[in-house]
Amino acid sequence: MNTEERGEKGDVLLEMKNIVIDGWSDERWHQIIRGVDLSLGRGEVLGLIGESGAGKSTLGLAAMGFVRPGCRLTSGSIMFDGMELSTASEPEKRRLWGTRIAYVAQSAAAAFNPAHRLIDQTIESSVRHDLMNEAEARENAISLYAAMQLPEPETIGFRYPHQVSGGQLQRAMTAMAMASRPDLIIFDEPTTALDVTTQVEVLAAMRDAIEQFNTAAIYITHDLAVVAQMADTIKVLRYGEEMEEAETRKMLTHPEHPYTKSLWSVRSIQKPAETSDDYILEINGVDAAYGKGLKVLHDVSIKVPRGRTVAIVGESGSGKSTTARVITGLLPPVAGEVLFDGQALPPELRQRSRAQLQHIQMIYQMADTAMNPKQTVAEIIGRPLEFYLNLRGKAREARIIQLLDLIELDESFYDRLPTELSGGQKQRICIARAVAAEPELIICDEVTSALDQIVQEGILKLLLKLQRDFGMTFVFITHDIATVKAISDEIVVMYQGRVVEQGLKDAILSPPFPEYTKLLLSSVPEMDPDWLSNLLAERAGA
Amino acid sequence: MSETETYSATAEVAQVRQRTSRGKRIWIDLKKAPISAWFGLIVISIYGLVAVFAPLLAPYDQADTSFGAYLPWGDGHLLGTDQIGRDFFSRLIYGARNTIGIALATTLLSFLVGGSLGLMAAISRNWIDQVLSRLVDVLMAIPSLIFALMLLSIFGSTTWGLIVIIAILDSTRVFRLTRAVSLNVVVMDYVEVAQLRGEKLGWVMRREILPNILPPLIAEFGLRFSFVFLTIAALSFLGVGIQPPTADWGSMVRENASLIQFAKYDILGAITPLLPAAAIALLTVAVNFVVDWFLHKTSGLKDEH
């Protein structure tokens, strides 16, 4: 609240002891957090990392004294600045929330009310809790927008959430959390949904703001390189238990627990780049537009060699996904043509033959929305078998089990519903559905970006195996350079609907770079705690 | 990387599960159903059985007028006879068949028409959507009871005419609801997957979208079903609904309503006209209990523990 009342940096602010939290599922209570201790001093930043389901968010929310519906705090004490939160009443806790403890959610787009202006939402908690009057709060908000390096801080608050970009919205949300000068902010994966180029700006702005106001923070993420930039200490969680906690530099250089070591070595997939002159897919001079006016692709030409992986990289809005829509026929191009196996594909989906549709399959980013929640795994995988290959009855069942085996899942998954699967399992089922059609080309649209690193690695290895065993061709759309390095043969860099360059992986990833490629590559966080500072210094100097 | 820590998808599952069939899932759901849902299901089943086996259960025919008018309870007529000497108990049983049958047929037809057109409009979102939506707007702009009266006097009050006319008027609301909820589902990736696979429109409607919009439709079904009783009763009151001698609960209330005045002389006789009303009320409550349970189950709302 008041800066004067604050203690010195390093005084203990939050002390959580032996936290046990249960969650209700499958008709019984399960332990989600199994006796974790956490201690945080003023002005310190603690990084919480682990794969999904590790209990990161649950623990983060517990630091506010909040448990999600369907969960309960069974034991443990949460001392926040001399106040016991585990036994505090709802009104007592509500007085703390939004004033002394703030929360920044992963999806700012979902957390803002689309019907109110940004500034009204930013000042709401300060005004409601009578910390400031409205005029002061507005002035404060504007200074925070400036601190977060938002463009036009004087006026940006008068826009609605849909009128600013995702990165700006995430920064506005951090400004909202900062508005009442809280003692503690909980960041729950605040940059996971952003492009790398945007992520750098948001990280820098958040770090400056935390330092400036001497705020303590818990930073929840599954991205090690990001946490390395933000945190003073790192705590690794798995299955609700603490694996290891250490000061950031020590943790990065000398991880002790085998699980931590495995996290550190995840980006280990390497594949030598190969090329081929036998092109399975050629896109020639394609222009595409949504509606009549908005042209999103300009003279795009891409060649995809058979049995290889071509990665299309670029930030959001660069035309990557639109290119995929042109290939699949969802968006007929205005000009240019798509050749498959040397034959021109009809531009419209409806004019394509069943065989043409069968040869090109697609895997989506969000496995959640790519599977019908009311169909079982067998129905999802079995439909392409019926539809393209005319398999029925026992033959269909046998093939489904064979496909499940191929994606390293067992027969017990046969009649599960998507809601009974984890994120990685869902994506595997989507892969099985694409493979079931026995296609020649699979378009992977950001297939790993919604997944944790260890799960990502599993999926990428599976895709490489499929390519090796069946000679499949992949077009891999992504903004994650680490993934690109791991699995691609060729890289296409796109920016604002144009192809910046295309070539072999090694050629694209080594200098000299065109300007945009350089910006994109330099924005990928590295596992060096000084990376962000160095990058910012370098960019300021340049 | 250490050997033990590599990712394995199978290891993500805590314990290996047995395959469970659809039938078993339904049985598990039923076992967990609250008492209100069980009550509803049992009541609906009894109504259903009575309706199907009406000719076997009823002691007399619904149109048999060979008895004295207004006979008291007991003495060969369990619930007495009505104003022209028809056995009231038999008419109550036949009423289940006629009233429920007509209401069910009407509601099903309105959902078939409104639902499929609504789905089609939501998927196509082109001129078909525009034409259908404006047509529905026009139909909804006309007061439905007056419109029904007009149509019935043009085409005559046959049972089938009644069913079709009420169904079409009701289907406008179903169309709007279906279209609105489908619009949220058609944008999902799995619908795009189906289209990319080359599936026909009918398959996409039936298999991809319909199962996902079922909960609000079922809730609407329960409500519509109850409202159809009222519409039929209103039309019967005006003389264009179900025509005599067909027994129908709505008209049975009206025809014998005057008996209530004689409550101080014969309390049982006075209850008689209330029985068909109670039958309608009980069925409505039962249907809504079941619909509530179904909604609770499919909406994903968790009970507080």
* Neighboring chain A residues of B20 at a CB cutoff of 8 Å: 415
Its domain, for residue A143, covers 12-264
d(CA A456, CA A460): 6
A360 and A251 together in one domain? no
Interior/surface letters A430-442, b for 16+ CB within 10 angstroms, e for the rest: bbbbbbbbebbbb
Mean pLDDT of A506-516: 83
Look at residue B28 in the predicted model and tell me its pLDDT: 78
Closest CA relative to residue A144, chosen from A126, A162, A130, A166: A126
Contact A258 B199 (CB under 8 A): no
| A304: confidence class by pLDDT, cuts 50, 70, 90 | very high
Closest CA relative to residue B228, chosen from B175, B292, B164, B178: B164
d(CA A364, CA A383): 17
A448 and A332 together in one domain? yes
Look at residue A542 in the predicted model and tell me its pLDDT: 64
Q: Is the dihedral of CA A47, A49, A55, A57 positive or negative?
A: positive
The string of pLDDT tens digits covering residues A201-239 is 888 888 888 888 889 999 998 778 888 888 999 999 888
* Neighboring chain A residues of B211 at a CB cutoff of 8 Å: 372, 374-375
Look at residue B1 in the predicted model and tell me its pLDDT: 35
| A326: confidence class by pLDDT, cuts 50, 70, 90 | very high
Look at residue A268 in the predicted model and tell me its pLDDT: 66
Q: In this structure, which long-range contacts are made by residues A374-377, counting pairs with CB atoms below 8 Å and at least 24 apart in sequence?
A: A374/A417, A374/B211, A374/B212, A375/A417, A375/A418, A375/B207, A375/B211, A376/A414, A376/A415, A376/A416, A376/A417, A377/A404, A377/A413, A377/A414, A377/A415, A377/A416, A377/A417, A377/A418, A377/A421, A377/A429
Note whether A438 and A388 are within 8 A (CB).
Answer: yes
Contact B1 A268 (CB under 8 A): yes
d(CA A328, CA A330): 6
- Which carries the bigger pLDDT value, residue B273 or residue A377? A377
Look at residue B299 in the predicted model and tell me its pLDDT: 65
| A23: confidence class by pLDDT, cuts 50, 70, 90 | confident
Residue of chain B nearest A239, judged by CA positions: B12
A520 within some domain: no
In chain B, where the domains are located = 34-63+73-298
Of A240, A264, A288, the residue that ends a domain is A264
A531 within some domain: no
Query: Could you give the 3-state DSSP secondary structure of residue B108?
Result: helix
Mean pLDDT of A299-323: 88
| A289: confidence class by pLDDT, cuts 50, 70, 90 | confident
A187 and A259 together in one domain? yes
Contact A357 B196 (CB under 8 A): yes
> What distance in Å separates residue B173's CA from the closest CA in chain A?
25
Look at residue A409 in the predicted model and tell me its pLDDT: 87
Provide the CATH number for the domain around residue A194. 3.40.50.300
- Residue with token string 């926040």: A80
| A26: confidence class by pLDDT, cuts 50, 70, 90 | low
- The partner residue sitting opposite A372, judged by closest CB among B4, B190, B195, is B190
**Distance, C-alpha A373 to centroid of its chain:** 22
Contact A433 B8 (CB under 8 A): no
Closest CA relative to residue A78, chosen from A118, A38, A106: A38
Total structural domains in chain A? Answer: 2
d(CA A130, CA A127): 5
* Residue B57 token pair: 């259960």
Q: Which CATH architecture has domain B34-63+73-298?
A: Orthogonal Bundle (1.10)
In the predicted model, is pLDDT for residue A142 greater than 80? yes
Strand order of the β-sheet with A71-80 is A28-41, A12-25, A71-80, A83-84
Angle at B180 between CA B176 and CA B184, to 5 degrees: 160
Contact B198 A265 (CB under 8 A): no
- Write out residues in chain B with pLDDT < 70, as ranges: 1-22, 299-305
- The partner residue sitting opposite A370, judged by closest CB among B1, B189, B212, is B189
Note whether A190 and A174 are within 8 A (CB).
Answer: yes
Strand order of the β-sheet with A343-344 is A294-305, A279-290, A335-340, A343-344
The string of pLDDT tens digits covering residues A37-81 is 999 988 899 999 887 777 888 888 898 888 888 788 888 889 988
d(CA A342, CA B187): 33
Mean pLDDT of A366-380: 89
Mean pLDDT of A143-152: 84
A247 and A284 together in one domain? no
Contact A437 B5 (CB under 8 A): no
Residue of chain B nearest A373, judged by CA positions: B212
A220 and A357 together in one domain? no
Q: How many CB atoms within 10 Å of residue A520?
A: 23
Residue B11: burial class (beta carbons within 10 Å; 0-12, 13-18, 19+)? exposed
Threshold 0.80, pTM exceeds:
no
DSSP class of B283: H
Contact B192 A330 (CB under 8 A): yes
Look at residue A420 in the predicted model and tell me its pLDDT: 80
A535 within some domain: no
Contact B5 A352 (CB under 8 A): no
Q: Name the interface residues of B facing A (CB cutoff 8 Å).
A: 1-2, 4-10, 12-13, 16-22, 188-190, 192-193, 195-199, 207-208, 211-212, 302, 305
Residue of chain B nearest A376, judged by CA positions: B22
* Neighboring chain B residues of A387 at a CB cutoff of 8 Å: 197-199
Residue A309 pairs in a beta bridge with A474
Strand stretches in A321-472, DSSP E: 335-340, 343-344, 360-363, 441-445
* Neighboring chain A residues of B6 at a CB cutoff of 8 Å: 262
* Neighboring chain B residues of A448 at a CB cutoff of 8 Å: none
Lowest mean pLDDT segment, chosen from A404-413, A417-426, A428-437: A417-426
Mean pLDDT of A413-420: 84
- Which carries the bigger pLDDT value, residue A261 or residue A308? A308
Contact A424 B10 (CB under 8 A): no
* Neighboring chain A residues of B192 at a CB cutoff of 8 Å: 330
* Neighboring chain B residues of A366 at a CB cutoff of 8 Å: 189
* Neighboring chain A residues of B7 at a CB cutoff of 8 Å: 424, 454-455, 457-458
Please report, as a single letter, which amino acid is at residue B9.
Answer: A
A317 within some domain: yes
Of A230, A264, A298, the residue that ends a domain is A264
Note whether A60 and A188 are within 8 A (CB).
Answer: yes
Query: Could you give the 3-state DSSP secondary structure of residue B124?
Result: helix
Query: Could you give the 3-state DSSP secondary structure of residue B240?
Result: coil
- Residue with token string 């003073």: A232
Of A214, A237, A264, the residue that ends a domain is A264
A37 within some domain: yes
Beta-carbon contacts of residue B168 (< 8 Å; ≥ 6 apart): B110, B113, B139
Contact B12 A422 (CB under 8 A): yes
**HSE toward the beta carbon, residue B86, CA cutoff 13 A:** 20
A111 within some domain: yes
Contact A454 B7 (CB under 8 A): yes
- Residue with token string 């046990």: A20
A152 and A16 together in one domain? yes
> What distance in Å separates residue B117's CA from the closest CA in chain A?
22
Contact A370 B193 (CB under 8 A): yes
A118 and A252 together in one domain? yes
